[in-house]
Amino acid sequence: MHLYNLTLQPPTAITQAIVGNFSGARQQEIIVSHGTRLELLRPDPQTGKVATVIACDVFGSIRSLAAFRLTGGTKDYAIVGSDSGRIVILDYDPKTSSFVKLHQETYGKSGARRIVPGQYLAVDPKGRSVMISAIEKAKLVYILNRDAAANLTISSPLEAHKNASIIHHIVGLDVGFENPTFAALEVDYSESDQDPTGEAFNNAEKLLTYYELDLGLNHVVRKWSAPTDPRANLLVQVPGGQLASSDRYDGPSGVLVCCEDHIIYRHMDAPQHRVPIPRRRHPLEDPDRGLIIVAAVMHKMKGAFFFLLQSEEGDLYKVTIEHEEEEVKALKIKYFDTVPVASSLCILKSGFLFVASEFGNHYLYQFQKLGDDDDEPEFSSTSYPSFGMDDPTLPLRRAYFKPHALDNLALADELESLDPILDAKVMNLLPNSDSPQIFTACGRGARSSLRMLRHGLEVEEVVSSDLPGIPNAVWTTKIKEDDLYDSYIILSFVNGTLVLSIGETIEEVQDTGFLSSAPTLAVQQIGEDALLQVHPHGIRHVLSDRRVNEWRAPSGKTIVTATTNKRQVVVALSSAELVYFELDLEGQLNEFQDRKAMGSTVLALSVGEVPEGRQRTPYLAVGCEDQTVRIISLDPESTLETISLQALTAPPSAICIADILDASINKSHPTTFVNIGLQNGVLLRTVLDPVNGQLTDTRTRFLGTRPIRLLRIQTQKNPAILALSSRSWLNYTHQNLMHFTPLILDTLDYAWNFSAELCPEGLIGIAGSTLRIFQIPKLGTKLKQDSIPLAYTPRKFISHPTNRYFYLIEGDHRSYSDATATSKLNELRSQGKMIDDDIVNLPPETFGRVKAPAGQWASNIRIIDPVDAKTVNVIPLDNNESAFSLAIVPFAARGGELHLVVGTAQDTFLSPRSCTSGFLRTYRFTDDGTGLELLHKTETDDVPLAVMPFQGRLVAGVGKALRIYDIGKKKLLRKVENKGFGSAIVNLNTQGSRILVGDMQESIFFAVYKAPENRLLIFADDTQPRWVTAACMVDYTTVAAGDRFGNVFVNRLDMKVSDQVDDDPTGAGILHEKGILMGAPHKTKMLSHFHVGDLVTSIHKVSLVAGGREVLLYTGLHGTVGILVPFVSKEDVDFISTLEQHIRSEQPSLVGRDQLAWRGYYVPVKAVVDGDLCETFARLPASKQSAIAGELDRTVGEVLKKLEQLRVTASGF
Amino acid sequence: MSSELRYTANTQLEHLHARYTGTGHADITKYEWLTHQHRDTLASIVGHPTLTSYLAIADNESIGRVKFEMTERMLQPCGPPPAKDED
């Protein structure tokens, strides 16, 4: 089996974000790391919307990012620390819109290792040097400079290693133009490793160490080291250094040391200041639990600076330092606002705060104020003895605040993120949909959601209104060439035409010069200020002074179809003749002396737009009933001569010539595409050679069941094509590459551009007798998301076989369920404690829930109607139980009646896994599946992590044991058990009497149930230990699975073994066979293996296009949705793997990781081609493209076509 | 140490051990080996974004907290070393 891996939805989690002027323009941009992908975002200061400028896979794992700017420079560069063992400096080139690797310095082995730097990055604020550090020991310092030609240079590394020390964080110190200095938070373990009494461990000091880079000596020295709080976790740079212009100091320099519960200001030879981190006064909070800062950002304004620190609860604190010159007078902290917990915070100079959430959607907020003059209590180090450092070992008096809704910030934009996807299902539940939807259980805690993903572009409806009749076409037009917006809407009916004017309201107008008593075939704003209407009996040329020049069709003939642009008009007569008109320089429309007889009825015509600075476009495309398309010249030298001809498989229904930029074909100029829609719903896209008029590079695509209608429109000022069939599709350019995506919209009959003041980039369409005006807000996205909110982190969900509901289990560790919280609060109230209801009743979606001690769980069973997108019912679990697995089981003993079995556990602890008791809760469905009635609970000795129906009974994985249960009156009855599994059973699959068991650490086991002897036997396992997270049976002998480290693999059992096991009626043969390698008697063979770089949470075998091939679809924790497509022929395998090999050498990874090594991170890649790498072929420079294509004996077009075909036939994307 | 001695195999090995923390040797104790294993694992978890996310979701803690606790645990992942025999 050879597979092609293709990412449909790249990861959306942001692990780090940095801000800077990366394009060198005034505007600030944000670079975010999605773990394996870099993306440049540009927030628009006017609209407050975030747009993606460029995103690219790096084929490596990004662990740290930092922005820096050389002294006196205007442009920021990005430094990337990754698992490649190399430091990489990237420059964003706005001309080519790509990241350019300026420097790549190798310093160590690849992989995220303990002593190989890459985990932390710190830059000198003056851009003179950078420190890159590992988690332990290794720290390297590089000097950055510019050479005579002002190019960025990088030195060889200087070592600042310290053996046996664990590094918590590093930061660059702001020292102005003195020698660059870095601060590191380190712990030395050499003593505690030697001391059996444990005293050294208890006394281990966390040191704040300054490393100074002596630029004169080219050497790094340890300048200063002092113990600080043992629970310090984060350092934040404090501005410092003198301004060049004045003697004033920017700030006191030094660092903020963020510790558990405290913030300490610290600098060499300066007194320390300490303030407590204010907490919420929640009555149920655990008083022993400390609060740490997880994200921080410093912002400098003119002559002032402040910090925003975020606690692990999501509360933002504003921290300020009062200082006189270099002397700190006070450190102050106050509550600011609450936003989702971030992995990175970025403040933009335009007054925005970008919050890259650690889970869920990302947000852009606009600062309304800086919290300067509010009543929020502020805590200052001056109000404590010795600035809070009286006794550093004792905690300060706790400070409290009251959280409030957003006050200083206002939401500006939201970036949708699927991260984390915990479970998914692929099903077609929507009526009138021919392709399945992907349902994903996403998010964490109270911000969780169940999302439905549909392939297509989201459409935002602006207006929808009913019309008196059913129109068959609609146009909008400007009156003058240089008008900004459209003025008229023209609707054509069977027997007339209606003209509406667009103003404050939309109303009918009469005196426009348009003929209203006949249907319209085409409308065009022509010349400078004239309008043109084509109707079946003639052409009306309406001049600006309302004079009308009319050309009448010859008697007995009518116009059947027409095409127009700003200077040319072509009409086809019912006699199969073409009449050509062209606008002369006086603005007169002149008919060409000859008419062209086509010999077959003309069905469709198209001319392109007139290229800028030209008189005319030289080519006309004509589609005839004899199933041909002809390209006809409109050049004055050879007017109306046929140039080329293409035969079709069905009569054409529409043709559209458009010049669209597609960087995979031509990097700098638009390509002329001739799109031909056929009556059978197939679209052909061909490229028109601008020199000789030949049609080349034909690509076909099935759009829908209705004859296709094609319309030339504009998206973001670029030409695009709207193709209407039973679904509507948009063919447009985004980030220089062509996309072809369906619109999520009811079937349209006709559509046109619509541009008005309130809706400058809209579309107008007709569907039956409704007129709709809509916009496409999110160009470039391929999946539309609709979400249903959940209360806790979703664990698993299943669909019911007969009704349409989903049954979902959700649960959170360290949380009180609503019932527990209420009873605890009541208890406190009865003890006479005052309880602040405002804090207790904070909405958990924004503020989260109060943290309970480990072992506390809140969990629900939720019934969801996915089609109406609503929760139907919620069944909370009591007794501190949490649900871990569920299945719908048709118990044969109950006549096949369906029951819901939920595996739960009480008082569960995670590490080591333990519970007071596990339970299998058996429910009966009531009220057509909208309700559940608990029949009984069956105790188990461990957590049941997997349950599944099996031959009319239930099979459950309870810890290390696999058991079969049957239903009884009071509980489930254990029938048979096998305890031979490695660590814990996490998933189950079955076919026939075979059960595939996924173990938490020991890969997939093949087990069989032998009914005659009631035996449950393991007969095969894997040779490798695998931490299985998801598995799916591909066929009776094959399994595809994903593991915790981001691998997907396919294992197969030998057919002979399979038959032999099935032929053994009692299983006695297997029972007495000798095990191999301390395991089962047979081993599966690995067929394919691939590292996707995201933790795989579910795998499904599905077909994504109607009638298409089945593929393996997987979802990843960080929001990845990808597919593995089996190749159909050996030629394809050879071709694509050779292509991959060539691209691998032409396109080195942006972070310097070897692509082959990355895809074979843990096990060498086997029989899988990296489609994401192959698709970068479209972005390669033309010379490299043709070189690679030449090596493969193909043309560039053929290679691109093959890649597109692979994607489209497998996924429809 | 004189420079001639550096070329003997033994010092080379010592050099390697000093350079690559975590490399095992013939006389390694169970405790040392286990501590290395744990530190390597913890460092790997902190270094892989998907793994920290996974643990953070399971334990319902923030990613920052998970990273912090993992790094803290690297100080002494397997408890204090066994007492040395007095001989």
Question: What pLDDT, in 10s, does the model give residues A859-879?
Answer: 999 999 999 999 999 999 999
Helix (H) or strand (E) holding A925: strand A917-926
Coil, helix or strand at residue B74: coil
Asked if the structure places residue A297 within a domain, the reply is no
Contact B56 A195 (CB under 8 A): no
Number of residues in chain B: 87
The domain boundary residue, chosen from A928, A957, A986: A957
In this complex, the residue of B20, B48, B65 whose CB is nearest that of residue A112 is B48
Give buried/exposed letters for A841-856 (b at 16+ CB in 10 A, else e).
ebebeebbbbbbebbb
Give the pLDDT of residue A1142. Answer: 96
Mutation target to probe the B interface, by most B beta carbons within 10 A, among A109, A358, A1094, A1153 is A358
The answer to whether A816 and A464 are in contact (CB under 8 A) is: no
Residue given tokens 């909008």 in the structure block: A476
Contact B80 A201 (CB under 8 A): yes
**Token pair of A619 as six digits:** 């080519």
Quickly count: other Cβ atoms within 10 Å of residue A592's Cβ. 16
pLDDT at A488: 92
Closest chain B residue to the Cα of A167, Cα to Cα: B71
Total structural domains in chain A?
3
Distances (CA, A) of A874 to A529, A549, A599, A824: 64, 71, 69, 22
Interface residues on B facing A, Cβ-Cβ cutoff 8 A? 18, 20-22, 35, 39-40, 43-44, 46-51, 53-54, 56-65, 68, 71-72, 74-76, 79-84
pLDDT at A668: 84
What distance lies between CA A659 and its chain's CA centroid? 30
List chain B residues with CB under 8 Å of A198. Answer: 79-80
According to the model, what pLDDT value does residue A781 have? 87
**Cβ contact B81–A195 (<8 Å):** yes
Do A808 and A847 share a domain, yes or no? yes
Q: Indicate if A812 and A930 belong to the same structural domain.
A: yes
Residue % of chain A over a pLDDT of 70: 100
Q: Which residue has the tokens 């590490």?
A: A911
Task: State the residue range of the domain holding A890.
Answer: 438-457+785-957
Span between the terminal Cα atoms of chain A, in Å: 23
> β-strand A62-68 against A421-427: which pairing, if any?
unpaired
* Residue A904 within any structural domain of the chain: yes
Mean pLDDT of A944-955: 96
Q: What is the mean pLDDT of residues A933-960?
A: 96
**Distance (Å, rounded) from C-alpha B29 to C-alpha A371?**
57
How far is the C-alpha of A263 from the C-alpha of A261, rounded, in Å? 7
Q: What is the mean pLDDT of residues A976-984?
A: 93
Mean pLDDT value of segment A357-382: 93
Q: How far apart are CA A39 and CA A356, in angstroms?
A: 13
The amino acid that residue A954 corresponds to is L
Q: What are phi and psi of A248, to 5 degrees?
A: -70, 145
If asked whether residues A792 and A933 sit together in one domain, one would say yes
Report the number of secondary-structure helices (H) and strands (E) in chain B: 4, 0
Find chain A residues with C-beta within 8 A of B65's C-beta. Answer: 292, 294, 312
Chain B residues lying within 8 Å of A115, measured CB to CB:
20-22
Å from B34 to nearest chain A CA? 12
Question: Is A1091 an 8 Å CB contact of chain B?
Answer: no
Phi then psi dihedrals of residue A238, to 5 deg: -110, 130
- Residue A845 resides in a domain: yes
Query: To which residue do tokens 């450092």 refer?
Result: A389
- A1071 and A1014 share a domain? yes
Nearest-angstrom CA–CA distance, A245 and A228: 35
For residue A581, being part of any structural domain is answered with no
Mutate to test the interface with B, among A113, A114, A132, A286 (most CBs of B within 10 A): A114
Q: Which residue has the higher pLDDT, A1160 or A663?
A: A1160
Q: In what order do the strands lie in the sheet with A695-702?
A: A652-660, A671-678, A682-688, A695-702
Q: Rounded to 10 degrees, what is the CA torsion of A1055, A1061, A1063, A1068?
A: 160
Min Cα separation B36/chain A (Å): 10
A192 vs B56, B64, B76: nearest CB = B76
What confidence score (pLDDT) does residue B86 get?
Answer: 60
Q: In this predicted model, what pLDDT tens digit does every residue of A1030-1058 receive, in sequence order? A: 999 999 999 999 999 999 999 999 999 99
Residue A667, amino acid: K
Identify the band that residue A1106 occupies on the pLDDT scale cut at 50, 70 and 90: confident
- Residue A259 is classified by DSSP as E
CB contact under 8 A, B62 and A341: yes
Tell whether A448 lies on the interface with B, counting CB pairs under 8 A. Answer: no
Going by DSSP bridges, is the β-strand pair A1168-1170/A3-9 parallel, antiparallel, or unpaired?
parallel
Distance (Å, whole) CA A439 – CA A654: 36
Separation CA A31–CA A459 (nearest Å): 28
Region A136-149: mean pLDDT is 94
| Residue A403 covered by a domain | no
Task: Give A425-471 pLDDT, tens digit per residue.
Answer: 999 998 878 889 999 999 999 999 999 999 999 999 988 989 888 99
The pLDDT confidence band at residue B2, using thresholds 50, 70 and 90, is very low
Best residue in B57, B67, B84 for a mutation probing chain A (most A CBs within 10 Å): B57
CB A424 within 8 A of CB A418: no
Q: Which residues pair with A1123 in a beta bridge?
A: A6, A1113
Which alpha helices (DSSP H) does A525-633 contain, by range?
none
A344: region left, alpha or beta (phi > 0 left; psi from -120 to 50 alpha): beta
Shared-domain flag, residues A1062 and A1094: yes
Q: Which residues of B touch A812 (CB under 8 A)?
A: 60
In this predicted structure, the answer to whether residue B1 has a pLDDT above a threshold of 80 is no
Report CA Rg, chain A.
Answer: 34
Highest-confidence range of A239-253, A540-554, A695-709, A929-943, by mean pLDDT? A929-943
Query: What pLDDT digit, counting tens, does each position of A470-496 carry?
Result: 999 999 999 998 888 999 999 999 999
Question: Which residues in chain A touch residue B75, judged by CB atoms under 8 angstroms apart?
Answer: 166, 187, 189, 192, 201, 204
| pLDDT computed for residue A127 by the predictor | 94
Q: What distance in Å separates the CA atoms of residue A1101 and residue A1106, rounded to the nearest whole number? A: 14
> Is residue A245 over pLDDT 70?
no
Instruction: For residue A813, list chain B residues with Cβ-Cβ distance below 8 A.
Output: 58-60
CATH number of the domain within which A865 lies:
2.130.10.10
Does A948 lie in the same domain as A988? no
- A420 near B CB under 8 A: yes
Q: What is the pTM of this model?
A: 0.94
Examine residue A819 and state whether it is found in any structural domain, yes or no: yes
Q: Which residue of B has its CA nearest to A115?
A: B21
Q: Do residues A820 and A890 share a domain?
A: yes
**8 A C-beta contact, residue A810 and residue A859:** yes
Same domain? A793 vs A820: yes
How high is the mean pLDDT of chain A?
A: 93
Chain A: give the shortest CA distance to residue B67, in Å. Answer: 9
Chain B CB contacts of A854 below 8 Å: 59
The pLDDT of residue A18 is above 60: yes
3-state secondary structure of A167: strand
Taking the C-alpha atoms of residue A1198 and residue A1131, their distance in angstroms, rounded to an integer, is 14
Q: In terms of domains, do A1129 and A1094 share one?
A: no
Question: Given an 8 Å threshold on Cβ–Cβ distance, is B80 in contact with A137?
Answer: no
Last-in-domain residue among A1100, A1128, A1153? A1100
Tokens of A161: 């290693």
| H or E element that contains A1048 | strand A1047-1052
- Out of B59, B75, B80, name the one closest to residue A910 (CB): B59
Longest dimension (CA), chain B: 58
A918 and A1055 together in one domain: no
Question: Omega into A1126 within 30° of 0, i.e. cis?
Answer: no
| Contacting residues for A960 by C-beta, under 8 A, at least 6 apart | A942, A979, A980, A981, A982, A983, A984, A985
- The pLDDT score that the predictor gives to residue B8 is 61
Cα dihedral A349, A352, A357, A361 sign: negative
User: The CATH number of the domain where A1131 resides is what?
Assistant: 1.10.150.910
Give the Cα separation of A876 and A862 in Å (integer).
8
Q: Are residues A934 and A811 part of one domain?
A: yes
Chain B contact for A566 (CB, 8 A cutoff):
no
Residue A695, in any domain of the structure:
no
Three state DSSP letters for A360-420: CCEEEEEECCCCCCCCCCEEEHHHCHHHHCCCCCCCCCCCEECCCCCCCEEEEEEECCCCC
Cα separation, A1061 vs A1076, whole angstroms: 16
Interface contact flag, A233 B76, Cβ < 8 Å: no
Lowest mean pLDDT among A1006-1015, A1065-1074, A1154-1163: A1065-1074
Q: CA A543, A548, A554: angle at the middle one, nearest 5?
A: 130
Contact A119 B68 (CB under 8 A): no
Q: What is the mean pLDDT of residues A149-176?
A: 94
Mean pLDDT value across residues A1168-1177: 95
Q: Is residue A940 part of a domain?
A: yes
Q: What part of A 43-82 touches B (C-beta under 8 Å)?
A: 61, 63
Looking at A1040, A1072, A1100, the residue that finishes a domain is A1100
Distance CA A78, CA A97 (A): 15
Q: Which residue has the tokens 């934009």?
A: A413
Same domain, A811 and A840: yes
Of A135, A197, A813, the CB nearest to B71: A135
Contact A233 B64 (CB under 8 A): yes
pLDDT at A93: 94
Residue A1065 has pLDDT above 50, yes or no: yes
